[in-house]
Structure 1
Amino acid sequence: MPGLTASPNSPRLFVMQHNSADDFFSFAYPVLRRHEASSNIILAHALKRVGSETALSGHFLSQDEVSARFPSVASDAFAPQPTSGAFWLTVWSVSSSSSAPSLDLILASIDWTLGEYPIFLWTPDRTSASSTHWLEPRIHALTDHLNAIVPPERVFSVFGLTTLVKKFSQVWSQMTGFAIEPEPFYAALFSYCTSETLRGGDTPLPEGHRLRKAAMADLEPVARLCKEFADDSIYFPLTIERARIEARELIAKGLLWVYDADGDITTICAVTRNSHRVSAITKVYTTPRWRRRGCAEFLVRDVTAQLLLDFRKDMVVLYVGHENSAQRVYDRVGFAGLCGKPKPDAIEDSLELGFVGADRGHW
């Protein structure tokens, strides 16, 4: 293995750069699949870039096969390669010359129709990530490589497990001089619903109301709701023109459901991140004049049930803000660990921190 020597008590750390989703998956896919729910953002966005999971049939599907590949990796795979496109960084550790490499951290830098996404961070080892001794050298290795390949303006925010984000932001700010925004962009819980936790509703849908996939004829009302949703976020507002672009893309790809109140589109719910066993609900929003009538609960329950029962997903996941009253809606549908209830181990505390003066993207 190029440059991979270590003493038993001091693991060797190195960063590998992947400039395509195919190359990223050829090393990281087995670990991502073992942690399919918590890695949802990283995994699902990368899957979009290879088309579908059927495109992964030629990739290594076992960790042993991935480990066996490392001796043939060229040394330049560990050298920073400046890029303006999408890329992934993986941080590996090797405790001895005879041990298999361990995938410890992943960073994703990707974009979409409306611009750059935040920097996404993920680890398969949440327990170790709570240890400064474990986390600090890995974050330093990651930020050193990142700083060598992109201008610091690209990193307008970072999102992921709270412990990762706090340490990354501290190190990145010290390294680049870009101050951390005084208020978090997003502080949220990662929650999930399964067929076992899913709860039915007691109230029938009002006469004349429908829960359905959005059609292109819904473009204008959906665009207005997309704009209202973005405006609510403060940090990522949209013009109506850009909201139309987002709405058109979501509708065309069949990723958006609506609550149709006798022709009035009151609520939207998107399913924008999908993998083999897990789907994520995003962009749940009800226009103000229709709030407190149960629209979001009807729609979220229906979409979640379809994903679990019709599409045979093992789990539906979402992020919800710590102070967001929508927690009550998701709790009634069957999402775990919300509204002050005990938190199963899979519930994660997540954070997005921004950087003053960086070039703001959109998500």
Structure 2
Amino acid sequence: MPALTTSQSSSPSNSIIIQHDSASDFLAVAYPTLRRHEASANIVLAHALKRVTTEAAMAGFQFICDDDVEDWMSCADAQSLAPHRNSESFWLTMWNTSSSSAPTLELVLSCVNWTLGEYPIFLWTPQSQNALTTTWIAPRVAKIAEHLRFCVPSERVFSVFGMTPLVKAFSRYWSDMTGHAIEAEPFYSAYFSYCNVDTFKDSEAVLPEGHRLRRARLADLEQVAQLCKEFADDSVQFPLVIEQARIEARELISKRQIWVYDAQGDISTICAVTRNTHRISAITKVYTTPRWRRRGCAEFLVREVTAKLLYDCGKESVILYVGHENSAQKVYDRVGFAGLCGKDKPAGVEDSLELGFIGTTRGHW
């Protein structure tokens, strides 16, 4: 990809950036577009929905339409259009405001935190990956990066995650602008995949006697925490001490967001589902402790959880990210997740990347 320039002429014409200092403010304008792309927008949408009331998430935002967005933008205050510091969670949205049509959402940047600290910067666009040309990407990531520089200290941006072309372009520009070199190795190179009722693959395999697939209970806290720690330690970039793992495990259990493979009281495998929107659920953590590997535990559990989400909960699709070199692709492929193990990649299966920056303050996800 050619080098990005900082010249004013590189900025996309007819575009504005709005800074949203609350999830409600962000969803009030972005929700119609996010709803149309609910699967690919899962990270930015789910993180925002967690920060609003249940009533707003389940009812209020469901009735926002594009006309409401145009009305909102016509009344936007000057502060939202100017970059300003925010040490908490916020979102940047870039809009094409051509006079010939209604405002069009082109790019979202989220800068949010959670129980264990700061999340990476997440980038999302409704554009398909095939449409992400250098000509389209370069001026937009330059403009949103320049805006972000005035919102947070550069040390806050420890990594950025999103579709590969966006992340590569943003990271180069951000590194040149701030002086924070890009880490030599990507933090995460992954496929974004999905499973729905058309791709799901059932199995006639039977669980061993005495083994169960179930939601985790508080009585499982120590075992679940240990597996959460092992999962994080495997990532190298975002390890956890056991005290942090207990905090995460307790939150997952209390919110009923984690399932376990129970081998007669020995928890072999965990499967967490932490990003849920109206039609989409994301499997965000699958881990089998080493002594139980190669026995099919993960496949049993992932298939069970995926089936429950699709058939019992009525989700349109279950999504996940899996590393390019992760052997778990075979498990997910056998369950019915699309475009893995070298197979043709249908629309909706995307290449994703997380790049880190040297000299920053590491968060966790």
Corresponding residue for residue 185 of structure 1: 187
* Conservation of the 8 A alpha-carbon contact between 1:47 and 1:53: no
* Conservation of the 8 A alpha-carbon contact between 1:198 and 1:335: yes
Distance 2:72 2:216 in 1: 45
Corresponding residue for residue 81 of structure 2: 78
1:64 aligned onto 2:67: yes
Name the amino acid aligned to 2:112: I
Name the amino acid aligned to 2:153: P
Name the amino acid aligned to 2:224: V
Name the amino acid aligned to 1:307: L
1:148 aligned onto 2:150: yes
| CA distances 1:288-344 after superposition (whole Å, capped 9, x unpaired) | 000000000000000000000000000000000000000000000000000011110
Corresponding residue for residue 352 of structure 1: 354
| CA distances 1:114-148 after superposition (whole Å, capped 9, x unpaired) | 00000000000125752111111111110111000
Q: Which moved more, 1:74-83 or 1:114-123?
A: 74-83
Corresponding residue for residue 91 of structure 2: 88
Q: Which runs of 5+ in 1 are unaligned?
A: 1-9
Report the secondary structure of 2:51's partner residue: helix
Distance 1:58 1:223 in 2: 36
| Cα RMSD after superposing both structures | 1.3
Name the amino acid aligned to 1:32: L
Q: 2:27 aligns with which of 2, 25, 28?
A: 25
| CA distances 1:90-128 after superposition (whole Å, capped 9, x unpaired) | 011123x34321110000011111000000000001257
Distance 2:220 2:195 in 1: 28
* TM-score normalized by the length of structure 1: 0.95
* Conservation of the 8 A alpha-carbon contact between 1:129 and 1:135: no
Count of residue correspondences: 353
Distance 1:98 1:78 in 2: 21
* Conservation of the 8 A alpha-carbon contact between 2:129 and 2:163: no
* Conservation of the 8 A alpha-carbon contact between 2:268 and 2:292: yes
* Overall identity of the aligned pairs, in %: 65
Name the amino acid aligned to 1:81: H
* Conservation of the 8 A alpha-carbon contact between 1:192 and 1:317: yes
Corresponding residue for residue 214 of structure 2: 212
1:202, distance to aligned residue in structure 2 (A): 2.7
Q: Which runs of 5+ in 2 are unaligned?
A: 1-11
1:355, distance to aligned residue in structure 2 (A): 0.2
* Conservation of the 8 A alpha-carbon contact between 1:129 and 1:164: no
Distance 2:131 2:21 in 1: 26
* Conservation of the 8 A alpha-carbon contact between 2:123 and 2:167: yes
Name the amino acid aligned to 1:337: G
Report the secondary structure of 1:149's partner residue: coil
Corresponding residue for residue 157 of structure 1: 159
Name the amino acid aligned to 1:226: C
1:65, distance to aligned residue in structure 2 (A): 2.1
Distance 1:53 1:361 in 2: 30
* Conservation of the 8 A alpha-carbon contact between 2:199 and 2:337: yes
4+ long deviations beyond 6 Å: none
Corresponding residue for residue 337 of structure 1: 339
Name the amino acid aligned to 1:258: V
1:357, distance to aligned residue in structure 2 (A): 1.2
Name the amino acid aligned to 1:301: R
Name the amino acid aligned to 2:122: F
